[in-house]
Structure 1
């Protein structure tokens, strides 16, 4: 049937999408898509027409058409969102399931394939309005939460995100390091400015959730312009920040007095995984750390089954066995390793 379609033989419908014409067989489309099944069998005018116009991207529809005939679909993270959106609209149920699984696997196992935050934001947005598995939207939201600072240039995020999302994730204590606080501030300001008239009412709340005391003075001056400082609450936040920085108080004292401005967020960014793989030749385990991607630390020479704890991006290893697994010889010392890259 695919060869017949490509040769335009026995085709009984032409579908115009994005300036291109695609010849097809109604029965093939109806088998794969509930959308086309209803179109061709429910008495709509299209059921008697041999030419149909559909909105969308021609290259994406071509992939769905190829799937209808071959059952095969080539998906990348860059095309997954467009394919998923059109497949859901046209009710290609098998494609929707395949794309959802592909996206979930990308978030779980192949983070390196995620090259655009706009794609992640679109997936999160689509998950709200399309009948997608809950874990797809949850995975996209989790990824966005861990990369808030990378959203500062995402036009799709500025268009689709709401204050509820921002407030929820700005309240978390482990989303960024101190160095990233200024990037998050810039993201929030850009989101507000994108639709200032409708979003200005959320300014004081959102800025109050950012540790302004960790943002360099020049960045505060650049981002907190006259329009923002016209709001009394925002002006007060900046005034409190500057006054506290001019005192002789220590960082700890400032954090205690004004925790909303100076308290340090959690900086533990490396959940540690000790591989079950154990080398009898070297009597050491392998160590992996996670900081937005998995990294193998071959330089760590840990004994078998040590006790581990992570504090301020350092791994502390204590105890464990020397020699072989059956050895009664124990390590008695503690070793500290730097795990952040």
Structure 2
């Protein structure tokens, strides 16, 4: 038999029953006050305990007893909290167990956080996630306040803060909320777009904010302006503003200025172009109003168009979930026959125009059938309630690469006339569902069009010219053309600039200034120039100015005009993006 060396037979063994018996024995000694070397006083009750056990269970007690503090030599130590909560925490320190209920969990969580007992905090957090819809407003306020101060409870804080946001009008009826909610919490709530639900109006949000301020006016009035800047005053009836705000707030000059500005703008609400929801979103756009554009996956003919939210917004990037495929296919073939251009009106209606397209089939009759189908099926409206596209009266003239601009009750379509080297402008009346041709003899091919804050439409295009070759023959070349269309007078005026514009150059309006972007590969701006415009005169002009260092004016794909809509009206889902300011969670957003 082989002989083994002693160090080859070493084995570490254990017994769980022994650990349980040791824990149980220590707890019995505590209950009998045997060998205890400290009394913890909570409220009116004294709890005998062992410093060694408390130090092992709690970072709070370990620091107290081992760092030379005065408490390390004291036999009695007072701890804030309730007797019931500390009793549960003490049980956990000795046994690893405690009893949670809707009534006690808040106090136990607060005690666990105060004493830095991570395992107890985790158990409370797990319980709170499971019963998140079972508390009173007061409980939600307190749970959020406790968990918001600990990074390990961040998800719990978010869950309970979301409830406070969604029930803001109820929260401000709670004395606990009015007494204990801080200015920072109020700013967080008012900055959250989800505060506005179908059951909470902007007027109620304003009323709740004023209630919070006036609950302790002398201490809180310093926060009044910051909080009121978060209110969408344009959504509150003008005749109610003075009554809601009262003399205290209107006596503050900045608050008074805000109200006067809203009253002045509200007078032009129905006639403003573009709508105030676009020009003054901080006052007139609902918190759920987002700016978006249509985009499409050209690599997959079966892919439905998706609405993508621009990354520059304050929310995130979304797309409409399960958007029905636009019926832009030849009825006798699986091939996609055409592209579309689309946007959303103020009534959250999505429209799409189909371009003329071409059918590559060899059969002459099928080609003719295709053209006839497009003539009758070229303009659609998306109905979000049923996820389907509704056919609307067709355009009088089907266009190639139509550009769409919406102004009040009209949709303007600007594009190239089929088979003819010229462009035209026609418009659709949303209310009467009727068409009219405005300009049908534009002698250049359009490239894109944008709606300016002046209510005019800036159109960029190209025009073919001819020149002599050395041998006496002629050659064709293209020059850039820029025109300004005035809907009020139905005029199209040449404002061509003294520079060469290629296909990847776009005009952008930002803060009432016009800019020219020159792009590389059609993506990021390579150069941005400020454009000096005089569009209000009888002879409008546009001159290219200096290069602008700030290249953050990109408006995305210019072929797809931006639009606004209420995200509550359409099912949304978050999509990944390259915008570093957004934390993508891929959470489904439903109506």
TM-score by length of structure 2 reads 0.40
Q: Does 1:316 align with 2:338?
A: no
For residue 19 of structure 1, report the CA deviation from its aligned partner: 0.7
For residue 41 of structure 1, report the CA deviation from its aligned partner: 4.9
C-alpha contact 2:168 2:205 (8 A) present in aligned 1: yes
Correspondence for 1:186 = 207
Q: Does 1:263 align with 2:263?
A: no
Secondary structure of 1:203's aligned partner: helix
C-alpha contact 2:169 2:204 (8 A) present in aligned 1: yes
C-alpha contact 1:16 1:51 (8 A) present in aligned 2: yes
Distance in 1 (alpha carbons) for counterparts of 2:271 and 2:45: 67
- Alignment equivalent of 1:36, drawn from 37, 40, 61: 61
Distance in 2 (alpha carbons) for counterparts of 1:144 and 1:35: 31
Structure 2: tracts of 5 or more residues without a match = 1-24, 291-320, 325-347, 350-382, 390-568, 572-589
For residue 4 of structure 1, report the CA deviation from its aligned partner: 4.0
Correspondence for 1:151 = 171
Secondary structure of 1:316's aligned partner: coil
| Match runs of 1:295-306 below 5 Å | none
Correspondence for 1:15 = 40
For residue 176 of structure 1, report the CA deviation from its aligned partner: 0.7
Distance in 2 (alpha carbons) for counterparts of 1:168 and 1:15: 38
Distance in 2 (alpha carbons) for counterparts of 1:171 and 1:91: 31
For residue 112 of structure 1, report the CA deviation from its aligned partner: 1.6
Correspondence for 1:137 = 157
For residue 48 of structure 1, report the CA deviation from its aligned partner: 4.7
Q: Does 1:75 align with 2:100?
A: yes
C-alpha contact 2:183 2:223 (8 A) present in aligned 1: no
C-alpha contact 2:276 2:284 (8 A) present in aligned 1: yes
For residue 7 of structure 1, report the CA deviation from its aligned partner: 4.0
User: RMSD of the TM alignment (CA)?
Assistant: 4.2
For residue 99 of structure 1, report the CA deviation from its aligned partner: 2.2
Correspondence for 1:229 = 250
Distance in 2 (alpha carbons) for counterparts of 1:119 and 1:71: 25
Secondary structure of 1:56's aligned partner: coil
Secondary structure of 2:152's aligned partner: coil
Distance in 2 (alpha carbons) for counterparts of 1:253 and 1:35: 58
C-alpha contact 1:14 1:51 (8 A) present in aligned 2: yes
Structure 1: tracts of 5 or more residues without a match = 269-305, 320-336
Distance 1:223 1:52, change over 3 A: same
Distance 1:231 1:51, change over 3 A: closer
C-alpha contact 1:20 1:58 (8 A) present in aligned 2: yes
Correspondence for 1:99 = 124
Q: Which has the larger radius of gyration?
A: 2
C-alpha contact 1:176 1:267 (8 A) present in aligned 2: no
For residue 186 of structure 1, report the CA deviation from its aligned partner: 2.0
Q: Does 1:176 align with 2:246?
A: no
Query: Greater CA deviation, 190-199 or 58-67?
Result: 190-199
Q: Does 1:126 align with 2:146?
A: yes
C-alpha contact 1:152 1:184 (8 A) present in aligned 2: no
For residue 338 of structure 1, report the CA deviation from its aligned partner: 12
Secondary structure of 2:99's aligned partner: coil
Distance in 1 (alpha carbons) for counterparts of 2:102 and 2:115: 20
TM-score by length of structure 1 reads 0.63
For residue 171 of structure 1, report the CA deviation from its aligned partner: 4.4
Distance 1:46 1:217, change over 3 A: same
C-alpha contact 2:165 2:194 (8 A) present in aligned 1: no
For residue 29 of structure 1, report the CA deviation from its aligned partner: 2.6
